[in-house]
Amino acid sequence: MTAAGTRPPAILRDNRRFRTFWVGESISQFGDRISELALPLIAVTVLSATPAQVSILTALIWLPNLLGMFVGAWVDQRTRKRRLLIVADLVRAAVLLSLPVAYLLDAVTLTHLYSVALLTGAGAVLFGMARQAFFVALVPPSAYVEANSKLSLSRAASFAAGPALGGGLIQALTAPVAVLVDVVSFVGSALLIGRIPVDEARPAPQRSSTLGLVRDGLVLVMRHPVMRAVLGCTSTVNFFTLMTSALLVLYASRELGLSAGAIGIAFGVGAVGGLAGAALAPRVSHTIGLGRTAIIGVILFPAPLALTAFVSGPTWARIAALAAIEMVSSVGVMLMDVNLNALLTSVTPDDARGRRAGAYSAVNYGIRPLGALVGGWLGTTIGLRPTLVVAGLGGVLAVLWLLTSPVRHITAIDEPATDTSAAEGRQSTPSPGPRNRPDSSPASAGPPHRDQMASSEEGPHAAAQNELGAGSVR
């Protein structure tokens, strides 16, 4: 066990299975950044697509997330999660491979591009649902924060360096041919995952239909005080920050008068904050506690966006200010994501990980297009600067979900009492759970509601005195 204020042992250093998984994830992340840039460029440069058609392309990539609850329920009933991960990687590789082939045959069409976007999006949803259950088979509970930090570090690095790498490859090879790099990354990820030995527990027989399992997943999330608070928090912050996503480049160009190159420099430098945040997240969490670190991240993520509205001065100052704002916001994203992801992993029952991930996927990704639409409407109605202020301050309100929940009292994640597999992260029967600060008993977080007093069949929210998880709460 680890307490706030102490550093945990580097238990992942000797965990070859996690290291292999991490390498595969890292390779795939860099490949994804290339495709994210290449697909719209294929639409624009090869097919002369209109802005509306490019918007449809983007929407199709996210659309499968709305079915995440059903995919998650189905995944929970499958024994071999590793096989699902490999299938998801290889399907996406095959689908993307069709683009350079069609390009060489002069047969690329908009319908083909739409199909690629939809199928790769569906593969990403399947991978994400199965990844949750596979992750806990590799990593012991006390390493959840450290492991999530490493995965987030790779993701942040891909966002910092990926666009420049992708731009260079696309310029040298053309967008359709550059997609081959992502094809290779998916194949590499599949090969590495296939080499990871893991004993996957057979799921308990389900008495419910898929629709019943979807309902159970929603009930699980809404009844569990931690899951409910984290879902409310992330959905709120995503809604408000997505209000700015469609406007920030427009604002930087029109209001700040920055060139495309200057905007790219500002965003690229700002993305370095994600690297710093991912690296710092475990250290901060072990110093001040998991809950407090997540709360700081939730504030640092949206708050700087409001300051964007007040940027002025000479060109170099505007670039520097935008880069600094993006950097602080990126640090906040990682402090929030790393700790909340670890917390969700610890309180989710093993046989409901897909359903929980599906419920989160449907709500979190479903709210994003709505936030973008509201941001566009406000930007047109009240102007870009006021909209940025509204989005930044509105996003800060998301912290209220955590401040009024047991999350603020959580310091660390306990190992299950019977866990003897720290070195390799083998699964054990009891679920881990978060640990409260010594000065905060369950009563100090407020009396348990009736919906928290669930039966033992409902997993980690089974008892009022142990409402944060099946691990010990002290």
Q: How many CA atoms lie within 13 A of 20 on its CB side?
A: 16
DSSP letter at 247? T
For residues 334 and 331, give the distance between their C-alpha atoms in angstroms, rounded to a whole number.
Answer: 5
Determine the pLDDT at residue 406: 87
Determine the pLDDT at residue 391: 93
- pLDDT tens digits along 343-375: 887 877 776 766 677 777 778 777 877 787 788
Determine the pLDDT at residue 208: 54
Contact 340, 434 (CB under 8 A): no
- What φ, ψ does residue 302 adopt, rounded to 5°? -90, -30
Q: Does 453 or 390 have the greater pLDDT score?
A: 390
For residues 474 and 58, give the distance between their C-alpha atoms in angstroms, rounded to a whole number.
Answer: 46
Sign of CA dihedral 131, 133, 139, 143: positive
Minimum mean pLDDT among 148-152, 288-292, 294-298: which range?
148-152
Collect contacts of 423-426 with beta carbons under 8 A, ≥24 apart. Answer: 423/11, 423/14, 423/15, 424/15, 424/17, 424/138, 425/15, 425/17, 425/18, 425/136, 425/137, 425/138, 425/139, 425/140, 425/143, 426/137, 426/199
User: In what helix (H) or strand (E) does residue 245 lie, and over which residues does it extend?
Assistant: helix 225-245
User: In what helix (H) or strand (E) does residue 436 lie, and over which residues does it extend?
Assistant: strand 433-436
Segments in 348-470 forming alpha helices (H): 353-381, 384-396, 399-403
| Highest averaged pLDDT of the listed ranges 73-82, 89-98, 361-370 | 89-98
For residues 185 and 179, give the distance between their C-alpha atoms in angstroms, rounded to a whole number.
Answer: 10
| Highest averaged pLDDT of the listed ranges 110-119, 160-169, 275-284, 419-428 | 110-119
Minimum mean pLDDT among 29-43, 94-108, 186-200, 399-413: which range?
29-43
CB atoms within 10 A of CB 422: 17
Sign of CA dihedral 39, 45, 50, 51: positive
For residues 293 and 281, give the distance between their C-alpha atoms in angstroms, rounded to a whole number.
Answer: 8
For residues 354 and 10, give the distance between their C-alpha atoms in angstroms, rounded to a whole number.
Answer: 28
Determine the pLDDT at residue 311: 93
Helix, strand, or coil (residue 434): strand
- pLDDT of 3 > 70? The answer is no
Determine the pLDDT at residue 336: 93
Q: Give the residue carrying structure tokens 């420099």.
A: 265
- What φ, ψ does residue 382 adopt, rounded to 5°? -115, -5
Please, what is the average pLDDT of the chain?
76
- pLDDT tens digits along 186-208: 999 999 998 888 765 555 555 55
Find all residues with CB under 8 Å of 126, minimum gap 6, and list them.
71, 75, 84, 87, 88
- pLDDT tens digits along 112-136: 999 998 999 888 888 888 887 787 7
| Highest averaged pLDDT of the listed ranges 147-161, 324-338, 418-432 | 324-338
Single-letter amino acid, residue 423: A
CA separation, residue 98 to residues 48, 54, 113, 260, 470 (Å) = 19, 19, 10, 31, 47
DSSP letter at 42? I
**Distance from CA of residue 20 to its chain's centroid?**
20
Determine the pLDDT at residue 246: 58
- pLDDT of 76 > 50? The answer is yes
Q: How many CA atoms lie within 13 A of 329 on its CB side?
A: 27
Give percent of the chain with pLDDT exceeding 70: 74
Contact 57, 39 (CB under 8 A): yes
For residues 308 and 390, give the distance between their C-alpha atoms in angstroms, rounded to a whole number.
Answer: 11
Burial 257-269 (b: 16+ CB within 10 A, else e): ebeeebbebbbbb
Determine the pLDDT at residue 213: 59
Residues 84-98: what's their mean pLDDT?
93
User: In what helix (H) or strand (E) does residue 72 lie, and over which residues does it extend?
Assistant: helix 68-76
Helix, strand, or coil (residue 258): coil
Single-letter amino acid, residue 383: G
For residues 450 and 4, give the distance between their C-alpha atoms in angstroms, rounded to a whole number.
Answer: 31
Tokens read off for 113: 């591009």
Q: Does 12 or 374 have the greater pLDDT score?
A: 374
Contact 145, 342 (CB under 8 A): yes
Q: Give the residue carrying structure tokens 């053309």.
A: 174
Tokens read off for 23: 């390498």
Q: Does 22 or 69 have the greater pLDDT score?
A: 22
Determine the pLDDT at residue 443: 31
Residues 78-86: what's their mean pLDDT?
81
Domain 16-198+209-407: which CATH class? mainly alpha
Single-letter amino acid, residue 365: Y
Tokens read off for 386: 């006021």
Determine the pLDDT at residue 91: 93
- pLDDT tens digits along 235-252: 999 889 888 875 787 788
- pLDDT tens digits along 407-450: 888 887 765 444 433 334 333 334 455 655 544 333 333 333 32
For residues 264 and 2, give the distance between their C-alpha atoms in angstroms, rounded to a whole number.
Answer: 41
For residues 169 and 65, give the distance between their C-alpha atoms in angstroms, rounded to a whole number.
Answer: 29
Determine the pLDDT at residue 473: 25
Q: Does 178 or 166 have the greater pLDDT score?
A: 178
Going by their DSSP bridges, the two strands 433-436 and 410-414 should be labelled as: antiparallel
